[in-house]
Amino acid sequence: MFAGRNANVTAVRRKNNEIMFYEVPRKTVPWIQKLKKIPLVRGVVAILESSAKGSQHLNFSMESYAEDELEDKKDDGSAVKSEEKKGWSLSMIVGVAVAGILSFVAGKLVFTLVPALIEQLLFEHAFSNIIVHNLIEGFIKILFLLAYLYIISLTPLIKRLFQYHGAEHKVISAYEAGAELTVSNVQRFTRLHYRCGSSFIVFSVLVGVVVYSFFHWDSLWERIYLRVLLLPVVLGASYEALRFTNALRDLPVLRFLGYPGLWLQKLTTKEPTDEQVAVSIASFNRMLELDRQNANA
């Protein structure tokens, strides 16, 4: 999936080798645009918006995959070509978007609260310094995250998803370098990219250690309550930290600020096949085409 100025585009390759596109116009909602200009707040808005849109596009990909699987299982051996999707109803789009947001929030709560609970149970009486407790909590959270990503990356479906993630990064890097978008050219570029959302995950852990250190708790329930209450602050501050490191990525001395996110991408991206790169190029070119059409309209 690629996000342009005027549309978000996802491309999928069907089993008959046809590439299909799912295109969603980027509609500007005035009050959301205003929120995106407010530091800290804009991070939370952008994350929830990305979760909603990402769920829609992922659902389209999964439906296309499921349709191909159903066609393969036809007993009469006939090949019935599925019609290209003309679009979803408003209720379907809203439903998938809400599900995406709720999934993100639920997942974030689990990855926030479980490490805090484990640290409290294991080290409650070992230290009195809150910062030490927060550092251990952050370490447990990192281990929890790495183990989760590694385990799911072993499944064929998620591995394929991570390969497409790597293909997206390669296409963007090639485009930013001014290279012609051919499969051979794109494959020469790295699958790691500074602006990847995976970097945000690392920053949320590191920023959380700092933010939580300003607040004292006397019980496990008070600690959990603070984590939930401060979650929007951590997300907003993490987003600002990510923007800051992206702005400094070309400075040799300060490039290391983005390295933790790049290291995590070793798990969230995989080397793509030539066919996967070709699909990503098609999606990116379609996004550019829609942007040009809108600019000339």
- C-alpha to C-alpha distance for 195 and 246, rounded to whole angstroms: 6
185-212 tens-digit pLDDT: 999 999 998 778 777 888 888 888 889 8
In this prediction, residue 88 carries a pLDDT of 46
Give the residue-averaged pLDDT of 276-297. Answer: 87
In this prediction, residue 96 carries a pLDDT of 44
Chain position carrying tokens 């342009």: 4
DSSP 215-261: ---SSHHHHHHHHHHHHHHHHHHHHHHHHHHHHTTTSTTTGGGGHHH
- Number of Cα atoms under 13 Å in the Cβ half of residue 136: 17
pLDDT at 11 over 90: no
In this prediction, residue 83 carries a pLDDT of 38
In this prediction, residue 17 carries a pLDDT of 82
pLDDT at 23 over 60: yes
In this prediction, residue 65 carries a pLDDT of 66
pLDDT at 95 over 60: no
Average pLDDT, the chain: 80
Query: Where is pLDDT greater, at 229 or 72?
Result: 229
Q: Please report which residue ranges of the chain form alpha helices under DSSP H.
A: 30-35, 41-72, 90-123, 130-153, 156-176, 183-187, 198-212, 220-247, 259-268, 274-296
- The model's pTM: 0.77
pLDDT grade, residue 69 (50/70/90)?
Answer: low
- The torsion defined by the Cα of 259, 264, 266 and 268, in degrees rounded to 10, comes to -140
- Number of Cα atoms under 13 Å in the Cβ half of residue 128: 0
3 state DSSP class of 75: coil
In this prediction, residue 84 carries a pLDDT of 41
Bridge partners (DSSP) of residue 7 are 25
CA-derived radius of gyration, the chain: 21
Q: Which of 9, 28, 27 is nearest to 19 (CA)?
A: 9
DSSP 187-211: HTS-S--TT-THHHHHHHHHHHHHH
- C-alpha to C-alpha distance for 51 and 61, rounded to whole angstroms: 15
26-64 tens-digit pLDDT: 776 777 778 878 888 888 887 777 777 777 777 777 777
pLDDT at 226 over 80: yes
Cβ distance 164 to 282 under 8 Å? no
